[in-house]
Amino acid sequence: MEQQPALDSNHLMLLTQQGSREAFETLVVIWHERAIMKAQAILHDRMLAEDVAQECFADIYIKRASYHTDFSFQAYLYTLIKNRSIDALRKQKHTPIPVDTLPGALAPDTPESLLIRKDQFYQVSMMLDRLDPVQKQMLLMFAQGQAYRDIAHTLDLSPGQVKIGIFRARKLLKTIYKDAVKGGSL
pLDDT at 25: 93
pLDDT at 42: 87
DSSP string, 65-116: GG--TTS-HHHHHHHHHHHHHHHHHHH---PPPPGGGSTTPPPTTSHHHHHH
Please determine whether the domains at 3-91 and 106-183 fall in the same fold group of CATH: no
* Tens digit of pLDDT at every position of the chain (186 positions): 344 555 588 999 999 999 999 999 999 999 999 999 999 998 888 999 999 999 999 999 999 998 887 778 898 999 999 999 988 888 875 455 555 554 455 456 677 777 777 777 788 888 888 888 888 888 888 888 888 888 888 888 888 888 898 888 888 888 888 888 787 766
The pTM assigned to this predicted structure is 0.51
Report the Cα–Cα distance between both ends of the chain, in Å, rounded: 52
CATH of domain 106-183: 1.10.10.10
CATH of domain 3-91: 1.10.1740.10
pLDDT at 1: 38
Domain boundaries, the chain: 3-91, 106-183
Q: CA 55, CA 171: separation in Å to the nearest integer?
A: 10
pLDDT at 81: 94
Among the listed residues 186, 117, 160, 123, the one whose alpha carbon sits nearest the alpha carbon of residue 23: 160
Q: CA 87, CA 43: separation in Å to the nearest integer?
A: 10
